[in-house]
Structure 1
Amino acid sequence: MPVSFSDGKDTANSANINWKQYFTDPNLVELIDVALKNNLDLSIALQKMEASKAYVRSSKGALFPSVNANANYLGRRFGYYTMDDAGNRTTEIEPGKIIPTYLPDYYMGLQASWEIDLWGKLRNKKRAALARYLSSVEGKNLVITNLIAEIANAYYELLALDNELDIIRESIKIQQSAFDLVSVQKEAGVANELEVKQFEAQLNSSKALEYETLQNITEVENQINFLLNRYPQTIKREKTDFSKPLSIVPNTGIPSDLLKNRPDLRQAEYELIASKADVKAAKAAFYPNLNITGMLGLQGYKAVLLPQSLAYTAAGGLIAPLLNRNAIKAEFKSANAAQQEALFNYQKVILNGYIEVYNELAKIRNLEKIQEYKSNQVTSLTQAIDASSVLFKTGRANYIEVLLAQQNSLNSKIELISVKQLQYSALVNIYKALGGGWK
């Protein structure tokens, strides 16, 4: 990984800033707060984390003996002319009493089994489970980071649409005045029907654009409402002037900071750790298992005799795989392949993280220049509208020049707003790319 994102080294890192300080709009902060409490994707991630935590407890429990309480009754009738019957006819169960044909058996006690982890199979399974739990924690953090960025981007898109709507409505007023003027000129015989219809068509096009923008506003509002897990309602926001220049360059820190700040990198790292533990556990499956079993309890053919009938067993043995070694080999190869996959994914995520930051930094710098030139373009085209209107009234410009000036001005103003929105989006995305938002 390179030592910096640019020629110089920036030791400060905006990812370490709490999102409530990074985003200063109180309405946006309120929206994010609600989302962090109610978002469904985040709730799902939290449940996955709880499931992983339970699996860690389960894998820890496998290292200890299993002890079960047991109480049962067994009744058995021996058939005539069988080996058991022949023996029972000559054996006394009590002095002067042979074993009856039907013999009950009462038992209550404890049974235990324990797999001794000689080769580390169970310990490595526990390590893998713990790593996957930590991976699920980072998965939750990743959901938080993405959620904050998604809400912020949608919010700034909403502000941009509000500004677009204002510009469109302002243009409609200008176009309406031009249409009224050319209509009067037609009545006076100065203009013709073609000119009137052209101005009218442009006016209707702008009115249609107004309602397209209103629809876009509705959809973006409901996109935010969905992220907040609530039904459609108006998103609270203040008017923001998108004509003012935006010049903010966040602190990026050094690339190695990504390894500790980005949840997706940490998630991939824990998955790699888990896959390594899986390989060790799969390798241990080739070796014999040492199992110890035991029973301690009371057992007798009469319930009243149980207190006097202590019984116990203890056994231990090694079990080595023979015929199923091919299956174990397949599991081992699968675990190795999964480890390589996790390694390649880790490398890919690191590379992607660096490129994301690099791209957003370049975008911030380039958008600053684009904004400057677009602002100059808007100024020139706004002046062109005034000039064309004066010339048209005095007969020194035709209606096409007026229409073109109005349309170009409208388009340039909308483009400038889009540039401003992209600038806000770049600031959101670089915060996300640096790993900000989840702390």
Structure 2
Amino acid sequence: MNRSLLSIALLAALSGCSLIPDYQRPEAPVAASWPQGEAYAADGEQAAAVPGWREFFRDPALQQLIEVALENNRDLRVAALNVDAYRALYRVQRADLLPAVTADGGGTRTRTPGDLSMSGEPTISSQYSATLGVSWELDLFGRLRSLRDQALEEYFASEAAQRSTQISLIASVANAWLTLQADQALLEVTRDTLKTYEESFGLTQRSFDVGVASALELRQARSAVESARVSIEQYTRQVAQDRNALTLLLGQGMPANLRVSGELVREQLAELPVGLPSDLLQQRPDILQAEHQLKAVNASIGAARAAFFPRISLTGAAGTASRELSGLFDGGSGYWTFTPSISMPIFNAGQLRANLDYATISRNIQVAEYEKAIQTAFREVADGLAAQATYTRQVQAQRDLLQTSEDYYNLAERRYRTGVDSYLTLLDAQRQLFSAQQQLIGDRLAQLVSEVNLFKALGGGWQAAAAPSPEEG
């Protein structure tokens, strides 16, 4: 009795054994704070949380588009299905830790010809059975638990990948919408410019007819008109292609009530907080995904180590058997079998050692991947902070240039109408004004896109939360 209790205690102790290496999160290979300098936001401001996407994107039309994309985008749908798939794989791996129970029933009837029977007469024999079987591998060295933990971490990695896909989708929809607005604004500016060029061409044509303007000035005026017409077709095409790109992201057609305006204003987006610590990056879903993948390969080392030790399996069956179906459950018809087995690796040409080396190398690779993910995130945020500070000054400078160009154009037009300057001066002023208008739209777009990319780099407003239990579903 004491020996039995000792054996049970020993098995219980061995069942808790794990050969998985202790996990230690690698040190982040980046500075504790963001770079400093003229291009970056000033220090000393109180750190605040990154806003959610509904708070950051203030444009109701853009909010509507993001909601549609989150509901219908196919990449996000695939990411969600991947989470379900890894949840199912975890449940498959977890099931190996528990005994497998089967119930079987069967019956056979056999006719034996007379020349093969002992009596010389044909005979018919019957056999019926009902069996309950149990098989169980004792996980003494943690091989199955290591594989279960590996599957669990892969599930968590897929869940983080889904969140990362969602953040990328939100940023892509926002950038596509801003690009569509910018190209629409460029199209409207070009149409207005074409009207101006056509008015100047009409004035030059009348001056040419009365012998005031030269043929060269007339050709220059016509050239400006045709150049504007070319730009209109270019921006018309870009607007159509922008709509197509946005439709792909949405997963369906654009809402019918949506009106595309050509107004790019900074107020479409909320202000992002400054002074955030760099350890905020640890909460980015893509970095969490890399860490879960690191934990998964770390668990695989435990399974590779456990493969060097014996595997013990217990198999048993109990049931009844009878020649007659009616006597299947009569007294004395019961039977049972019990088959324990042990498998000890002796020689496999170094396969187990190679598997362990591969698992160890995979962990080292994943450490480097995890560190690279942090470095990439740090660079993305640092670039975003640099853009945040410089684009504000650049856009203001471009506004000043546009105002100067408008003044130059108005002055050149008056001087040309009064005959003080040639048409070449007016044409130069028109082109400079058109170029300044285009550049301001481009700078505004770049500023807003950089804000969206910074929002994405900071984690898109996603806050750490408990992942759904893989036991569900």
Q: What TM-score, normalized by structure 2, do the two folds share?
A: 0.83
CA distance in 2, matches of 1:426, 1:247: 11
SS state of the match for residue 126, structure 1?
helix
How far off its partner does 1:63 sit? 0.4
Matched residue, 1:107: 129
Matched residue, 2:354: 330
Matched residue, 2:47: 12
CA distance in 1, matches of 2:368, 2:434: 49
CA distance in 1, matches of 2:135, 2:462: 44
Question: Within 5 Å, which residues of 2 pair with 1:234-245?
Answer: 236-237=258-259, 239=261, 241-242=263-264
How far off its partner does 1:239 sit? 3.5
How far off its partner does 1:321 sit? 1.8
Cα deviation 1:119-169 (Å, max 9, x = unaligned): 111111111111111111111101110010001111111221222122112
SS state of the match for residue 32, structure 1?
helix
Question: Within 5 Å, which residues of 2 pair with 1:284-295?
Answer: 284-295=306-317
SS state of the match for residue 211, structure 2?
coil
CA distance in 1, matches of 2:44, 2:88: 43
Cα deviation 1:179-222 (Å, max 9, x = unaligned): 01110110010112221121111111111211211211111122
Find out whether 1:225 has 2:257 as its counterpart: no
The answer on whether the counterparts of 1:14 and 1:434 sit within 8 Å (CA) in structure 2 is no
How far off its partner does 1:437 sit? 4.3
Find out whether 1:65 has 2:75 as its counterpart: no
SS state of the match for residue 351, structure 1?
helix
How far off its partner does 1:248 sit? 7.1
* Residue type at the aligned position of 1:2: A
Find out whether 1:341 has 2:376 as its counterpart: no
Matched residue, 1:354: 378
Once the two structures are aligned, what percentage of the paired residues are identical? 27
How far off its partner does 1:340 sit? 1.6
CA distance in 1, matches of 2:44, 2:270: 18
Cα deviation 1:214-272 (Å, max 9, x = unaligned): 21111112211111111367672463644889997521421101102x11000001000
Aligned counterpart in structure 2 of residue 150 of structure 1, from 161, 165, 172: 172
Question: Within 5 Å, which residues of 2 pair with 1:21-420?
Answer: 21-74=55-108, 104-231=126-253, 236-237=258-259, 239=261, 241-242=263-264, 250-252=272-274, 253-260=276-283, 262-307=284-329, 308=331, 309-324=333-348, 326-420=350-444
Matched residue, 2:22: none
CA distance in 2, matches of 1:54, 1:232: 35
Comparing 36-45 and 336-345, the one that deviates more: 336-345
Comparing 5-14 and 136-145, the one that deviates more: 5-14
The answer on whether the counterparts of 2:33 and 2:278 sit within 8 Å (CA) in structure 1 is yes
Structure 1 residues 74 and 337, CA gap change in structure 2 (3 angstroms) = farther
Comparing 412-421 and 229-238, the one that deviates more: 229-238
Structure 1 residues 243 and 414, CA gap change in structure 2 (3 angstroms) = farther
How far off its partner does 1:326 sit? 2.6
Comparing 396-405 and 174-183, the one that deviates more: 396-405
How far off its partner does 1:301 sit? 3.6
How far off its partner does 1:26 sit? 0.6
Cα deviation 1:308-340 (Å, max 9, x = unaligned): 310101121210123335332332222222212
Comparing 365-374 and 303-312, the one that deviates more: 303-312
How far off its partner does 1:303 sit? 3.1
Aligned counterpart in structure 2 of residue 2 of structure 1, from 31, 47, 50: 31
Comparing 221-230 and 264-273, the one that deviates more: 221-230
Structure 1 residues 234 and 378, CA gap change in structure 2 (3 angstroms) = farther
Structure 1 residues 62 and 325, CA gap change in structure 2 (3 angstroms) = farther
SS state of the match for residue 366, structure 2?
helix
CA distance in 2, matches of 1:133, 1:204: 59
CA distance in 1, matches of 2:338, 2:266: 83
* Residue type at the aligned position of 1:36: L
The answer on whether the counterparts of 2:153 and 2:292 sit within 8 Å (CA) in structure 1 is yes
The answer on whether the counterparts of 1:222 and 1:232 sit within 8 Å (CA) in structure 2 is no
Structure 1 residues 13 and 145, CA gap change in structure 2 (3 angstroms) = farther
Structure 1 residues 240 and 56, CA gap change in structure 2 (3 angstroms) = same
* Residue type at the aligned position of 2:418: T
The answer on whether the counterparts of 1:275 and 1:335 sit within 8 Å (CA) in structure 2 is yes
SS state of the match for residue 286, structure 1?
coil
CA distance in 1, matches of 2:150, 2:91: 12
CA distance in 2, matches of 1:324, 1:146: 47
SS state of the match for residue 430, structure 2?
helix
The answer on whether the counterparts of 1:243 and 1:417 sit within 8 Å (CA) in structure 2 is no
CA distance in 1, matches of 2:302, 2:389: 49
Structure 1 residues 247 and 238, CA gap change in structure 2 (3 angstroms) = closer
CA distance in 1, matches of 2:68, 2:256: 15
* Residue type at the aligned position of 2:146: N
* Residue type at the aligned position of 1:411: S
* Residue type at the aligned position of 1:272: L
CA distance in 2, matches of 1:243, 1:274: 46
The answer on whether the counterparts of 1:225 and 1:233 sit within 8 Å (CA) in structure 2 is no
RMSD: 2.7
SS state of the match for residue 385, structure 1?
helix
Unpaired segments ≥5 residues, structure 1:
90-96
The alignment covers a number of residue pairs equal to: 424
